[in-house]
Amino acid sequence: MRRVAILLLLALAGCKNMVQQPRYDEYEASPLYPARMAMQHPPEGTVAQDLPQQIAAAQRPPLTRALVERGRERFGIYCTPCHAYDGSGDGVVPARGFPHPPDLRSARLRQAPLSHVYDVITNGYGVMYSYADRVAPPDRWAIAAYTRVLQQAQPESQP
């Protein structure tokens, strides 16, 4: 029993070292590296994790019938539960007590560039969470194109 108590005391004494470990801040000098700085350049050939996303965001596809059809399909899968098929924001989810999303036919969203819709799908906005892990970048552009078609096919909603 005494051995267990001693081992427990030794283990607890070692915990303080885990909390207060020596470290270097980003721009602090460090004798460990040739540049004498704690922060080092990334190794050769390193690629930023979000670089493919940035490239996809910059490569907006041309507006074609196939793109709009793909957008209609993806809109039906991901957007209609909240935004409804007509983009009014009266979908099934808000009908059950959740906050209403904005009406995609509103003047404000009609004037917004397509990149705004792409950014909202990517990063989320308000109570809408990001769909970046569910919707591929080309499909985000397709949904954005379809929302523009929805806006043009219907009269502007009144606030």
Per-position DSSP letters for the chain, written without gaps between them: -HHHHHHHHHHHHHHHHHHS-----TT-B-TTSTTSBSS-PPPTT---TTHHHHHHHH-PPP--HHHHHHHHHHIIIIIHHHH-TTSSS--HHHHTTSPPPPPTTSHHHHHS-HHHHHHHHHH-BTTBPP-TTTS-HHHHHHHHHHHHHHHHHSPPPP-
Mean pLDDT, the chain, rounded, equals 87
- pLDDT of 53 reads 75
pLDDT tens-place string over residues 101-110: 999 999 999 9
Task: Look up the pTM and report it.
Answer: 0.68
Q: Which CATH number fits domain 53-153: 1.10.287.890, 1.10.760.10, 3.30.930.10, 3.40.50.170?
A: 1.10.760.10
Block means of pLDDT (10 residues each) for the chain, length 159 residues? 74 65 82 84 80 79 94 97 94 94 94 94 93 93 96 80
Domain coordinates in residue numbering, the chain: 53-153
